[in-house]
Structure 1
Amino acid sequence: MSDESAGPFDPDYEPRPGLTHKDADWSGLRVLVVGLGRSGFAAADALRERLAVVTAISPDVTPQIEEHARILDILGVEVLLGDDAPDEVPEGIELVVTSPGVPPHNPLLAQAAAAGIPVWGEVELAWRMRPQTGAAPWLVVTGTNGKTTTVTMLESILRHGGARAIAAGNVGTPIMEVMLDPTPWDVIAVELSSFQLHWQRSLSPLASVCLNVAPDHLDWHGSYDAYLRAKGSVYDQTQVACVYNVQDPQTELLVMEAEVVEGCRAVGFTLGVPAVSMVGLVDDVLADRAFVEQRHTAAAELATLADLQGDAPGVAPHYVANALAAAALARAYGVGPMAVRDGLRAYRPEAHRIAEVAVIDGVRYVDDSKATNPHAAAASLAAFERVVWIAGGLLKGADVEDLVRSRADRLAGVVLMGRDRDRIAQALARHAPDVPVVDVASTDTGAMAQVVRAATSLAQPGDVVLLAPAAASMDMFTNYGARGDAFVEAVRQLGGSPA
């Protein structure tokens, strides 16, 4: 075990001095890797390549995990799966590296922390696996909602500015895989969840943003305060710019509380006219008053709302906010205004993010299955004047009262599905008693078709049938993507012109 003189839960205790870059002396370090998905596999691979003594465990067993186990076994990693995975830290372990989905109250992680064994997440390990010199800077994005849109927008802007850039982290490509990639990246756009941020301690982004904060994942973090601390840690040790949301004062407070590098600036983004050290909107122009020399008297035009429309007939406010945040991060890196415009023009949102599916008899059908919490659903509902709302699923302990109260005036009807639909029904009864509600109890594979038919029966020409569930999907679907796919298929079965 580690030196007990460090004391339990000491966040600054190092398993070995100098483990700050990939060329440090990792040899012989006894490491336990918890979880063998893509990030856990990449972590075990990187550590073993540097001659650490690695044990990798996973209580879950899937075909992908079994394939990872076979490869790691060849590389000399001890792999323990399923019932063979220990529920205690093996003797002699000096460092635990955990995958993002494992909560801090997991008995094995709690035991490690109590014994004074450092626990790192894959992001912490990835930061320490950068080259000693010439490492690509990180531009880091977090927030309750909008992370993936913002980080992929940022990737598009950076590439149009001529940089070799990649979006990584929670967005799809694990950051550890990027660290193992020999490509000489100029800059990395990194999306981090609160799970990932919980374990980081030495990350120092060039620029960072917390887009917004609302209660989410409280079952994982244990409290809203703990969730806030995780989100706020994105600003710690930021070098150039801490970007915050002017419409969400909590994000500015997180900046004020952060320990940043001397000289780092606070830069706001706003849907209103920007003040000095902000980016925002002047009529239909995205304007920069933060990264221009004469910012007290002038602004730089970055793009127009028309540049953001792409294939969509309009631009939702939260989409504009995401574009402003991405632009601010890119400007902090040094990208010029023209590249911001070109990157935003070229960008297309990922699937299941307020995507128009079809127009049938004057009714628009919109898929925002990615709205997996009340905060995201509120933003989605705000984009439309009159909505037949499809909602429900796993609320994960979130409160829907404010969501229903604030958007009740937009509801033409509601169709409820999923395990926690009754909690939304109760909020509707209190705050929107005159809105017609259809409760769909079915959870079988044909349930979404029933949901869409019910929504269609409530809609009139000019209405929007909006899938923005405010809840996670795993009670009925594999993930939010499968839920969105089911919605798209059900709408297509109705016929009509594709969007």
Structure 2
Amino acid sequence: MADDVTGVDRLGRTSDWSGVRVVVAGFGVSGYAAADNLLFLGAQVTALDETTSEEKAEKAQLLETLGATVRLAPGATDVLPEDVDLVVTSPGWSPTAPLLARAAERGVPVWGEVELAWRLRDLAHPAPWLAVTGTNGKTTTVQMLQSILTAAGLRAAAVGNVGLPIVEAVMDPEPYDVLAVELSSFQLHYTHSMSAESAVVLNLAEDHLDWYADEPGAPSGVPTGMERYAADKARIYERVQRACVYNLADPATEAMVREADVVEGARAVGFTLGTPSSGDVGIVDDLLVDRAFIEDRGSSAAELCTLADLASPAPHFVANALAAAALARAHGVSQQAVRDGLRAFRPDGHRIAHVAESQGVTWIDDSKATNPHAAQSSLGAFEHVVWVAGGLAKGARFDDLVLAARDRLRGVVLLGRDRAVIADALSRHAPDVPVIDVGADETGAPMERVVDAAAGLARSGDTVLLAPGCASMDMFLNYGARGDAFADAVHSHIARHDQT
């Protein structure tokens, strides 16, 4: 390592990185960005990944030309090189992965891309970070926030777990004014020094319990997987400078704020779908209002926008808008910019997307609802539902969802590997709801069978809702492919019905 660097904790944008030996674990989008920028700074980079593809091979060839060592093959990550000063890991890697476990044994620091990015900020022009995490709604909230910031005339970007890799954003020669940063629990796990200007935890529910698996036979007092998942989410509030925004309907998020070690003067700001108290944001009649960032918040409220200004009236969508508005207002954005940004925002595909309406039945694609909490929020937006669900449950349970939604369910159509987990919850808590199991066969147009089954259960006035509550990779490339297959099958079904 370079003589003038006495430890990796001192490394930053202006440090001498020559001689610093860095292993980049994972060669996806964030891994490539980390390796590329570390090379630019002068580090000695070795990038490792278990898989390859044409795109990865092309990027590897480019980095090798610039002096990196890149190994893309099964077994490439089994062994940690002997002379390593730092490991930069991709977010999906569990601390139990052999490479990271060996780094821990040898005392080699492990950073995530987010930690690296925080340390590489240009301190002469340090764009503030407005950070967002939660089990559900992160991407929508960050994109709403970017829309608001842009409407305010700021050079802003959605980064982190969405959009631009965060290392690329902080290394951009033209500094950003502010960054809207989406952070997963995986990313937060490997983040140690970040100090967001403001941050929000949108909600907390079971998810990724395969990554945060309980330790078999663990003695009393050892944190459960869910407790470790929550602790990683809570890291977003550490060292917050202005506002810790939390969900008044989710006591776990308030507890995180109470426990956070923040910069002196940082405030707690709640968001609610009800009437807000002084210091919070919420809803009055059909208005989104601010009682947190105005002078006379004890006796008045500032109008931000109307419910009709939003792309969807679904409760979870409105909650996301309130959280984005609170972060923007904490940054000093005007009421008008909040309104204009929320009016302009349209969610990405497969998020409560209207597919079609035929014979009085509405078909909705919310394939992005990949865990029970997200599916429950989606189901709550409709009165009578034929629910399409199933896939990879990731260790989650569905009892709470079924208890909350059973009175809305006209029927359920199940597909995917872990559909039995949902079927068991339905049999216990909603035994009278009709259930059709179409299986987990990837062949034979499974979505056509799903749609035909759902159409047979639906009545005029009902909504057929694809909100699987599970990941998609057992039968589909990703949640987008699953949603596309659903939409194609719906249009095909309607076309066949119209011809008869």
Give your verdict on TM over 0.5: yes
1:449 aligns with 2:452: no
1:175 Cα offset (Å): 1.0
- CA change 1:18–1:211 in 2 (3 A) is same
1:429 corresponds to: 427
Secondary structure, aligned partner of 1:254: helix
Residue 379 (structure 2) pairs with residue 387 (structure 1): no
Task: Kindly provide the amino acid, as one letter, of the partner of residue 458 in structure 1.
Answer: L
Partner of 2:134: 143
- After superposing the two structures, state which structure 1 stretch, 128-137 or 197-206, moved more: 128-137
Superposition map of 1:326-337 within 5 A = 326-337=324-335
Counterpart-to-counterpart distance in 1, 2:428 and 2:416 = 20
Residue 343 of structure 2 aligns with which residue? 345
Q: Which amino acid aligns with 1:276?
A: S
Q: Give the match for residue 190 of structure 1.
A: 181
Q: Which amino acid aligns with 2:492?
A: Q
Moved more, 407-416 or 176-185: 176-185
Contact 1:301/1:337 (<8 A) preserved: yes
- 1:215-230 matched pairs, under 5 angstroms: 215-222=206-213, 223-230=225-232
C-alpha change, 1:178 and 1:434, in structure 2 (3 Å) is: same
CA contact (8 A) 1:417 1:440 kept: yes
Residues 369-413 of structure 1 show CA distances to partners (whole Å, capped at 9, x for unaligned) of 000000000000000000000000000000111111111000000
Q: 2: CA distance between counterparts of 1:389 and 1:166?
A: 35
Q: TM-score, normalised by structure 2?
A: 0.94
- Match of 2:101, SS state, is helix
1:31-70 alignment runs, 5 A limit: 31-70=22-61
Partner in structure 2 of residue 88 of structure 1: 79
Of the three residues 403, 413, 425, the one matched with 1:415 is 413
Provide runs of 4+ in structure 1 moved above 6 Å.
none
In structure 1, the residue matched to 2:121 is: 130
SS of the counterpart of 2:310? helix
- Unpaired segments of 5 or more residues in structure 1? 2-13
- C-alpha separation between the residues in 2 aligned to 1:178 and 1:253? 32
Across the aligned residues of Structure 1 and Structure 2, the Cα RMSD in angstroms comes to: 1.5
Provide the secondary structure at the position in 2 that maps to 1:473.
Answer: coil
Query: How far does residue 92 in structure 1 lie from its aligned partner after superposition?
Result: 1.2
Name 1:315's counterpart in structure 2.
Answer: 313
Match of 1:367 among 365, 375, 395: 365
The aligned counterpart of 1:357 is 355
The aligned residue for residue 6 of structure 1 is: none
> Helix, strand or coil for the counterpart of 1:231?
helix
For residue 22 of structure 1, report the CA deviation from its aligned partner.
1.2
Equivalent in the alignment of 2:492: 493
**Alignment pair present for 1:159 and 2:161:** no
Is the Cα–Cα contact under 8 Å of residues 13 and 122 in structure 2 kept in the other structure? yes
Deviations 1:258-279 (A, max 9, x none): 1111110000000010001100
Q: Is the 8 A contact 1:39 1:177 kept in 2?
A: no
Q: Is the 8 A contact 1:144 1:212 kept in 2?
A: yes
Question: In structure 2, what is the Cα distance between the partners aligned to 1:345 and 1:407?
Answer: 30
Question: What is residue 287 of structure 2 aligned with on the other side?
Answer: 285
How many positions carry a matched residue from both structures?
Answer: 481
**Structure 1 position 113, deviation (Å):** 1.1
Question: Cα offset for 1:445?
Answer: 5.5
3-state DSSP of counterpart to 1:131:
coil
How many Å apart are 1:16 and its aligned residue?
2.9
Distance 2:8 2:105 in 1: 18
The aligned amino acid for 2:304 is L
Q: 1:112–1:98: structure 2 CA closer, same or farther, 3 Å change rule?
A: same
Q: Counterpart of 1:8?
A: none
Contact 2:414 2:435 (8 Å CA) reproduced? yes
Instruction: Write out per-residue CA displacement over residues 155-202 of structure 1, whole angstroms, 9 at most, x where no aligned residue.
Output: 000000111111111113221222233232100101111111110001
Give 3-state SS (helix, strand or coil) of 2:33's partner: helix
1:197-216 equivalence runs, <5 A: 197-216=188-207
Mapped contact 1:208–1:238 kept (Cα < 8 A): yes
Aligned 8 A contact 2:132 2:199 in 1: yes
Question: Which residue type is aligned with residue 147 of structure 2?
Answer: S
Given that 1:15 and 1:95 are in contact with CA atoms closer than 8 Å, whether structure 2 keeps it comes out as no
Q: How much does 1:17 deviate?
A: 4.9
The 8 Å contact of residues 385 and 411 in structure 2, kept in 1 or not, is answered as: yes
One-letter amino acid matched to 1:112: A
Deviation, structure 1 residue 443: 2.6
Q: Which residue of 1 aligns with 2:217?
A: none
- Please state whether the residue corresponding to 1:286 is helix, strand or coil: strand
SS of structure 1 residue aligned to 2:10:
coil
Judge conservation of contact 1:139–1:190 (CA < 8 Å) in 2. Answer: yes
SS of the residue aligned with 1:149? helix
Deviation per residue, 1:393-440 (Å, 9 max, x gap): 000000111111111000000000000111111111111111111100
User: Which runs of no fewer than 5 residues in structure 2 stay unpaired?
Assistant: 214-224
CA distance in 2, matches of 1:423, 1:164: 46
Partner of 2:255: 253
Determine the C-alpha separation between the residues in 2 that align with 1:89 and 1:418.
Answer: 37
Secondary structure class of the residue paired with 1:166? strand
> Which one is further off, 333-342 or 78-87?
78-87
Q: Is the 8 A contact 2:125 2:175 kept in 1?
A: no
Paired letter, 1:16 = V
Identity of paired residues, percent? 60
Determine if contact 1:444/1:476 at 8 Å carries over to the other structure. Answer: no
CA contact (8 A) 1:155 1:165 kept: yes
Partner of 1:169: 160
Q: Cα distance 1:185–1:68, how it changes in 2: closer, same or farther (>3 A)?
A: same
Q: Distance in 2 between matches of 1:83 and 1:337?
A: 53
1:215 offset after TM fit, Å?
A: 1.1
Task: Tell me how far apart the structure 1 counterparts of residues 370 and 485 of structure 2 sit (CA, whole Å).
Answer: 16
- Residues 430 and 81 (structure 1), Cα distance of their counterparts in 2 relative to 1, 3 Å cut: same
Alpha-carbon contact 2:157-2:164 (below 8 Å) kept: no
Q: Distance in 2 between matches of 1:344 and 1:42?
A: 31
Q: Distance in 2 between matches of 1:305 and 1:445?
A: 42
Task: Give the corresponding residue for 1:476.
Answer: 475
TM-score of the aligned structures, taking structure 1 as reference length: 0.94
